[in-house]
Structure 1
Amino acid sequence: MNIKVETLPKYRIAYVRQAGPYGPGNIQAMEKLKKWAEEKNLLAEAAIILAIPQDNPETTLPENCRYDACIVISNDYQINNSICESELSGGKYVICKVKHTAEDIQKAWAEIFPALQNSGYQIDNKPIFERYTGDMIYNDYCEICVPVKPL
């Protein structure tokens, strides 16, 4: 597994939120975000797309799980009320690049937390997310980004 530690900047994001069980609804939210971003000419090669599950499905009822499909926007980008806006705080993240298949993502989730225990880091209290940059958006790869702080 390809793991590295990276310091991410604070991101200003435009997002579409989906509430309910994780699964097909997440895909619909991402498609809605991509359609909006395409119409605004934001899906360029430098685009950064984020998928942020806001809740742990092991401790949150499925109908209350929130999922945000996001795109990073510049600080001066003018946004209208057709989409939500927020910020994602920066900091240190363990980044794991994986093929975007259910099998590879499940395998990465199973390996990433044991790997963290031997890294000198612990999970920080910020959202874990998937990041898609450049050609990853079209080539079925993503990066799992886990916020960390030193032990």
Structure 2
Amino acid sequence: MEFHIKNLPSTRIAYVRQVGPYGPANSQAMETLKSWARSKNLLTKSTILFGIPQDNPETTLPAHCRYDACIVISKDFPLDGSTPDLNEAELPGGQYLICKVKHTAEAVGQAWTIIFSHLQTSGYTLDNKPILERYTGELLHLDYCEICVPVKSQ
């Protein structure tokens, strides 16, 4: 598994939030977001989507876990408020440990174990920002995603 450190810029996002146990409902949130994005002609080869699990299921009750399905939008893209489930936010930039993985439950689960082991020997520690699953147009077609773990130097 390959890892690299990359500085990601702060970006404006539109997102749909799902609250409840992580799993199939996360996919539904992403499909809701994609449906909205299609209606606005925002799904292109250069589109960047994020899945952001906001809570650690080991410390947060499953019923309270939040998952955000996000799309990067330009600073001047108008959100008209016509979609009640759609919110906007600024995703913080910074250094991230990035790992490209096949987008299957098994591969992503294995990656989580390896990422945290790698982090212990990398000279970096976890930063206090959300962990991201990043999907770009090219990776989506190949059925891959990138897990982006916020880090800071030790």
TM-score with structure 2 setting the length: 0.96
| Mapping of residues 25-104 of structure 1, within 5 Å | 25-81=25-81, 82=83, 83-104=86-107
SS at match of 2:52: strand
Q: Which amino acid aligns with 1:38?
A: R
> Residue 139 of structure 1: CA displacement?
2.1
| 3-state SS, counterpart of residue 97 of structure 1 | strand
3-state secondary structure, aligned to 1:94: strand
Which 10-residue stretch deviates more, 42-51 or 133-142?
133-142
Alignment of 1:3-42 (within 5 A): 3-42=3-42
Q: Distance in 2 between matches of 1:109 and 1:19?
A: 22
Q: Hey, what's the Cα distance between the residues in 2 that align with 1:64 and 1:107?
A: 25
* Separation in structure 2 between the aligned mates of residue 148 and residue 80 of structure 1, nearest angstrom: 35
Runs of 4+ in 1 over 3 A off after TM superposition: none
Q: Tell me the C-alpha RMSD between the 2 structures.
A: 0.7
Deviation at 1:140, TM superposition (A): 1.1
Aligned to 1:118: 121
Shift in Å, 1:138: 2.6
TM-score, structure 1 normalization:
0.98
Residue-pair matches, total: 151
Give the Cα–Cα distance (whole angstroms) in 2 for the partners of residues 80 and 127 of structure 1: 27
Whichever residue aligns with residue 104 of structure 1, its letter is A
**Which residue identity lines up with residue 114 of structure 1 in the other structure?**
S
Matched position secondary structure for 1:127 = coil
Q: 1:139 and 1:10 mapped to 2: Cα distance?
A: 26
* Alpha-carbon distance, 1:55 to partner: 0.4
Q: 2:141, 2:63 → 1: CA distance?
A: 30
What is the SS of the residue equivalent to 1:135? helix
Determine whether 1:108 maps to 2:131.
no
1:71-91 deviation digits (Å, cap 9, x = unpaired): 000001111211210011000
